[in-house]
Chains A and B, each alone.
Chain A
Amino acid sequence: MMGKNLKKGLFICCLMALVLEASLSEAADPLRQGMQSYKSHHYEDAAATLLAHLRSANPGQQGKLYLGLGMTFLACAQVYQELHQTALSVQVDYLSKLLASHKEDGSHYAKLYLGLSLLDSGNPAEAAVLLRTCIRDKKIEPRDKSLAKIALARAYYLQGKNKSADELWSSVDTSDPEVVSELAATYSRLGLAERKPLAMEDQIRQMMQQSQKGDSIRLTNNLITVYAREGQIDKGLSVLKGSDLSDFFYEETMGKNKVVRFYDSSLLENLAVLYGRASLKFLGKAATDEKVKGLAQYYLAEAEAQFGHIDQSIKILDDALASGLLPSPYREKAELLQGVARSWQSGGGQSQMVLENSIWQQNEPHVLADTLLVCNRLNLECAEIARKATTLVEAIDGKKLETLPYALGRYYLRAHEYDQAIACMETVRDKSNKNKIEYNDPLMLINLAEAYYRSKRFSEALEIYFGMRNQFPAVRQIQISMQGVYAMEQKSAGDAKLF
């Protein structure tokens, strides 16, 4: 019984890759190479390999390539979505502490970047207070004042003060390409298509290419914002080539030996949106190929659910389950996803998870794990599943639990029970390679790092990001903010000993 379950519940990433790889046995090497990178969680490498191969692939291979690309971009989007959540909260912690510790002679830009973070966190009123201060601050450069005005206008718009927003937007200096680019990105984020953000951004990009100036990280971020949201995936992906995503947005010098660097966490959100849209695009194409249709539909449904399109996800799942094209373990996963999505749909996203399907009565680790993860993704309360999972985790041997400890750890993390979250996730961490993404699911590492951060075990969290930085250079902004919090929070005497 357990053996059968073990087969069913192989670690999700490996399972996806293995199934695809099995179907790729006759495929060319670049495809295999791309999927190897995917299995090692080197998603951006995998995408680059597969995209390069796509151009020369014969029509028979294209469906598999689309599927591989869709899966890769979906995984990438999930990573950046998690990173964005962490970055936002750490950034707010750091900048708030920074401002609180220097009320009179402190940073001028901390207010601007805290304002931007609060705006992204869904607090336009709080953000507006800070942004208004920035606009009046003589120490803030004119370009950055324009950025503050654009952000303040967004805050007004989100509060329904459209007239005030328009007035501010029309007051900024449009001779500066970076300001125009910021304006276009803001219009795009707010869905103001009639203001033609895509045309604005295209024009700026052309100007920058003609001037042969390298794009600043802010410009890169704005281009990604617009291209991702306006469906220009190829353009968005091309912007990323050669960009340094670890770069800071602004460096404020306050005397000879005091320099503070600022980052905009929306970069991570925009990367998540870009990769998410890319996954929908490629999975959609894969789903038209009969050879990989079943799998592609499953991932497409997962991607739609991930980005909040629940109705669309259910529709795809209904079709996939009816077609009989889904391989066996995916059929069960699809049923689970469908059940959870329906539960969410019936409760308008607010309800308790309804355990109406008999599958949840079996207490199978992989079923509970998948359910917890999907519920978590949809912000669906699932205390009963968590209780069952906790009992199971306490009762049986770690190896037989597959991904359940991680799923439960993630549940505890969202419930702010950090010690339990750490204990669960440490169970599935590869101790010999504890910070290497090649051996650990990056999503698990990101969640574990957050649990350590919340428990004030900063160095554990920082080591995880240090390990991730080569594959995901945009984590630099989390590292810098977290280092800042750690520097202010640590309470040690100043000891060094021989080890």
Chain B
Amino acid sequence: MRRLVTTFFIVSLAVFVLLLPPAKAAPKNDGFPQGGSLNYGEYGRPATLDPITSNDMISLRISELIFNGLVGIDEKQEIVPDLAERWDISPDNLTYTFYLRHDVTWHPKEGEEPRPFTADDVIFTYNIMKHPQTITPLKVRYEFIDSVVKLDDYTVQFNLKRPILNGLAKFTFKIIPQHGPENKEFLTREDPFVHHPIGTGPYMLKNVTADGEVILVANENYYRGRPHLDKFVARPFADQNIMSQALMFNAIDMIVLVNPRDIPQIQGDKRLVLQPYNALSYSFFGYNVRNPLLADKRVRQAITYAVNRQEMLDSFFNGQGTIISGPFAPGSWAYNLDVEPLPFDPQKAVSLLEEAGFSKGDDGIMQKDGKKLSLILKVPIEKESEGVKRVVLGFQNYLNKIGVEIKGEFKEWQAWKEDVFLKHDFDVVFASWVFDDSADITSLFHSSEIGPWRNNFGGYSNPEIDSLIVESKLTLDHEKRRTIYRKLHALLAEECPYTFLWTLTNYAAYHHKLRHVAIHPYKFFSFSDRWYIPEQEQR
């Protein structure tokens, strides 16, 4: 009987302990102070704040503060445990089993206790990501997963269709809570969760102000210990020049991307630190090949020959960048060094248009079968910096000289994205992509990625490109993949679905008071829970 009582007591105690809300995480034991807030400038408002539906860097940076993946990447670019404390990979590389941490909780909803993070959330995230009606660019990245199985509350097993290169790195995708989205089947931009997300990360969303400021506060229960800073505020700026001024006048503490024209001024300011981070990015003019005039590659090539890219870079961005020849950034392992950018050659441009059946009309505009070569260029208003305005004007002038009319339209960021990614209502866009180290261009150029809210917004389709992309996905050989990427680079440089322009110098700038700043070159805020401000400099 006594034994029974003891057993009952132990079991009751265990149940009680399990039902208790988890205790607050201990502060970090690194000797650095807590407190202070960081106001950082962004060049626009995030479309969504969740990691699934977003397809821009502004959203990605914020979701990096709010969410975690099963695994993460440390400052030495090594895969490290995150929500999963360890994992097993089967010898055939087809089964990945993740053992989840028991001490992670979701940010609490108002008036509620924090809920524990479990295997159900992982399964939920995968299922919602995969659902055909979920608006996400992530589907293509996870097509290699066959099934996900919950082994117990804290163990999940992913079964792969085939072994893949860098398999573990794929599990850096962010996990969202089962109790987050209203619609448990699929996620769209209409779901309140995408604007008011709940995560497990170091910062929790407090609110979004009418001015579009995103205010985040420290997660006291963060499993790695409370982050040092009390608050993170993302402030949108429509104009990058004004953002730089705001930094220099102490209105903000950091800007994530310094306008190249402002680099000398910031470098000369002793209160500020300029920190390079090599985001693999480039700018381009992208074409909508649904327009029959642009479906002919000779027309796209002609436009590329007509534009003096070096002159634009030198004049509008103080030469602070590099002209590129294809779909990869020059700092990428995939860049084909054999391919040179097409030269500036307006004569060649005119010849190509004539070869494609165009001739100049009375108004000086090229036309074919009665259709004028008059194109609408759409540019997001957030990019309305002085440099971008000049690029648009320059583009118009260069093309005017070969008889191509360009009508520039600046659109508000959301409206621009809807026109480009949803309605496909444009002829040309001026935009920039940024890639992580994998240099994966599948979502940009594979024909399966044509459709609403997909990254192949121009509708480009080429069986040879498709076949190479698929082969690159299937191989387990790094050198083979490298060769394929070199071929893709050469082919796309020839095909001109984009006019590949340049990669600009990327610097973040921040006040000296901010310490221990390490920046992830792609995700930016990955290590921000360790940033701090000395007590005497907190305001």
Contacts and interface: CB of A to CB of B under 8 A. Distances in A.
A466 B502 CA distance: 13
Contact of A258 (B280, B329, B477): B477
B319 interface: yes
Nearest to B140: A494
Contacts of B441: 496
Contacts of B77: 456-457, 489-491
Contacts of B322: 435, 463, 466-467
B86 interface: no
A457 B278 contact: yes
A101 interface: yes
A178 B367 CA distance: 57
Interface in A251-282: 254-255, 257-260
Contacts of A259: 483, 486
A459 B329 contact: yes
B403 interface: no
A492 B168 CA distance: 9
A50 B239 CA distance: 48
Nearest to A482: B333
A432 B263 contact: yes
Contacts of B274: 431
Nearest to B487: A257
A492 B263 contact: no
Interface stretch (B22-30, B430-438, B490-498): B430-438
A257 B480 contact: yes
B173 interface: yes
A482 B73 CA distance: 21
Interface residues of A, number: 49
A254 B73 CA distance: 33
Contacts of A462: 330-333, 335
Contacts of B332: 459, 462, 483, 486
Contacts of B278: 457, 459-460, 463
Given A483-B482, A493-B169, 12 more contacts: A257-B480, A257-B487, A458-B437, A459-B521, A463-B278, A463-B330, A483-B332, A489-B77, A490-B437, A495-B141, A496-B137, A496-B444
Contacts of A433: 319-320
B175 to A, nearest CB: 14
B55 A466 contact: no
In this complex, the member of B77, B172, B331 whose beta carbon has the largest number of chain A beta carbons within 10 angstroms is B331
B267 A494 contact: no
A431 to B, nearest CB: 5
B264 interface: yes
A259 B443 CA distance: 25
B201 interface: no
A241 interface: no
Nearest to B71: A491
B522 interface: yes
A177 interface: no
Interface of A: 98, 101-102, 107, 246, 254-255, 257-260, 397, 426, 431-435, 455-460, 462-463, 466-467, 469, 476, 479-480, 482-484, 486-499
B60 interface: yes
Contacts of A496: 137, 433-436, 440-441, 443-444, 455
A3 to B, nearest CB: 19
A257 B441 CA distance: 18
B57 interface: yes
Interface in B63-89: 73, 76-79
B482 A466 contact: no
Given A431-B263, A459-B278, A459-B329, A497 B170 contact: no
A203 B278 CA distance: 50
B333 A484 contact: yes
B57 A255 contact: no
Contacts of B320: 432-433
Contact of B337 (A257, A467, A480, A495): A480
B436 to A, nearest CB: 4
Contact of B436 (A426, A457, A458, A492): A492
Nearest to B477: A258
Contacts of B335: 462, 466, 483
B276 interface: yes
A450 B440 CA distance: 26
A498 B168 contact: no
A483 B334 CA distance: 7
14 contacts: A98-B479, A107-B479, A260-B479, A260-B483, A455-B76, A459-B278, A466-B331, A479-B337, A486-B332, A487-B334, A495-B436, A496-B455, A499-B279, A499-B431
B484 interface: yes
B169 A491 contact: yes
